[in-house]
Amino acid sequence: MCEYKIQNYENAERGNWSRKRDYILSMIGYAVGLGNIWRFPYLAYKNGGGAFLIPYFTMLVVAGIPLFFLESAFGQFCSQGPINVWRAVPLLQGETILNSDVKALMCWGFKSFCHCGLKMRTNTIMMYLNKTRLGHVVVKAPSLSPLCVSPMEVVYFTATFPYLVILILLIRGVTLEGAKDGIEFYIGTQSNLTKLTEAQVWKDAATQTFYSLSIGWGGLMTLASYNNFHNNVFKDSFVVTLTNAGTSVLAGFAIFSILGHMAHVYKMPVGEVVKEGFGLAFIAYPGALSKLPISPLWSILFFFMLLTVGLDSQFAGIEVLTTCLLDAFPKTFKTKRALLTITTGSILYLLGLPCVTRAGIYWVTLIDQFVASWVLLFLVLLEIIGVSYIYGGNRFIKDIEMMLGNKSSMFWLWWRACWFFISPCIILVILGWSMATFVPPTYEKVEYPDWGLALGWCMVTFVLIWIPVIAVYQLIKVKGNPWKRLKSLCSPSEDWHPYLDLHRGQRYSQERCHRKKNHKNLLEVDINVVSSSWL
């Protein structure tokens, strides 16, 4: 178990990151995952090679970075996880359960994704990863606790090791015969720029941006909630997002150089080497790696890299679930954090067992198609509407200035444009396009039975239904006429403020006085409100 090191934390009750690099590496480890290694190169191949980089970086600038900054600042301001952060808009507290459901399902699906793919290759690796996952449950217990320093060495390794392997594969890949053809397909003359006229390319670019940055899953808020109040979250957002994008591009060079060699060996065009998204990581790569000198070494390094990037994402994924429970029931779970984490990991492990059966890849595909598509887009859209329009974009900017200091109106011009208009409009278009073009999922031309599709829709319903259920429950619980009930639930609760008194300043002190002054006029409402959400 972990030995806790006593330090002078700003927030001694809840804890902070021991060092700035702990936070940065954890965020990079959380954001950089399987999507950077296999999904980005596959989408680049599917959508015109290097032409895909244009919509990808466009979406990164107009949606990815602004939403990453929004989530990180939201969590850091109140030093709370996804449950208590929606004290800002009590009406949307159902999104907390939605967020946790999505995270739990994605933990379930993507943990097992590695198992399913490796099972296609060898039962020996399958047994190894089963043992490793049990080890992950044990290691995870103290790994992200901000009061625990030593286990952060695990994160140091899992966050940096993938870059070493990618660099090795890149150096080896570009020296192989035929590698030039792969790189030409990736960024050279073989790029198909006509693909930019297709809406599907832009949809794939936007969804890849959200998935690779882990926006909307609650992990960004959770990890940022352990920062010091005056931490420069603005600079951190650029560091993490640009590192994430750079990782995708770097992985693309490594992968396409190897695919170029594979195409040379098999005497086929590069565009015909990769045919399946899942197959890119677990079928095409092993075939390519088997052609390398000392192939067992490269295969071990590659699959171990996949394991480490998956572990990093799951560290934060489980931390989201445990932080939600800790914030909701601090008296019950505060002294039982390790037990809570082990229990959460064990439950997810059991849920993942169906995905490691012979039909496991079909379960993973079902979860990926129904939960990880427009459901996640809906969650992100609801989040940005809640912050920008209900809580108040200008109020949120003032909250950020309490942490970073006052900024000029020109500084906020771009962020206002993104949060109020550009980002929500892009998400709405993508969401509408996804729903209009939705087709039942298949895997290797195998169509799902009706009961399988019904199960997928049940997962979607189970995830989304909590938003209206919690909203209706909140409306019933408060008193007053319908308008006052709605107004009270669309205004911050009395408990919404920076965690420590010394950070609340005159602004929030004035708001508390304002609430008390008007409390007598709002006795029929159980939740005290702020008169305007646009302070």
DSSP labels for 449-475? PHHHHHHHHHHHHHHHTHHHHHHHHHH
Is 31 annotated for ligand binding?
yes
DSSP element (H, E) containing 443: strand 442-443
Roughly how many angstroms between the first and final C-alpha of the chain, as a whole number? 47
Is 123 annotated for ligand binding?
no
Distance CA 289, CA 300 (A): 10
Angle, alpha carbons 12-327-140 (nearest 5°) = 80
pLDDT at 512: 59
Angle, alpha carbons 517-519-523 (nearest 5°) = 160
pLDDT at 531: 34
CB 390 within 8 A of CB 93: no
pLDDT at 126: 30
- Compute φ and ψ for 504, nearest 5 degrees: -80, -30
DSSP element (H, E) containing 257: helix 233-266
pLDDT at 535: 39
CB 249 within 8 A of CB 54: no
Distance CA 358, CA 14 (A): 44
Distance CA 308, CA 310 (A): 5
Is 521 annotated for ligand binding?
no
Q: For residue 56, what are its two tokens? A: 């990808």
Is 299 annotated for ligand binding?
no
* pTM (two decimals): 0.79
pLDDT at 274: 62
DSSP element (H, E) containing 519: none
Is 100 annotated for ligand binding?
no
Is 47 annotated for ligand binding?
no
DSSP element (H, E) containing 447: strand 446-447
Which of 199, 198, 145 is CA-nearest to residue 2? 145
Length, in residues, of the chain: 535
Q: For residue 423, what are its two tokens? A: 């980002």
Sorted by sequence, the CB contacts under 8 Å of residue 42 that are 6+ apart come out as: 274, 277, 280
pLDDT at 111: 45
Distance CA 374, CA 357 (A): 27
Distance CA 239, CA 231 (A): 14
DSSP element (H, E) containing 293: none
Is 32 annotated for ligand binding?
yes
Is 388 annotated for ligand binding?
no
pLDDT at 420: 93
CB 92 within 8 A of CB 386: yes
Mean pLDDT by 10 residues, the chain (535 residues): 51 80 85 79 78 89 93 91 84 63 46 42 31 33 39 71 83 84 79 78 83 83 89 93 90 83 80 63 65 78 80 75 79 83 85 79 78 76 90 92 89 93 88 78 80 86 83 84 85 86 78 53 42 37
DSSP 438: -
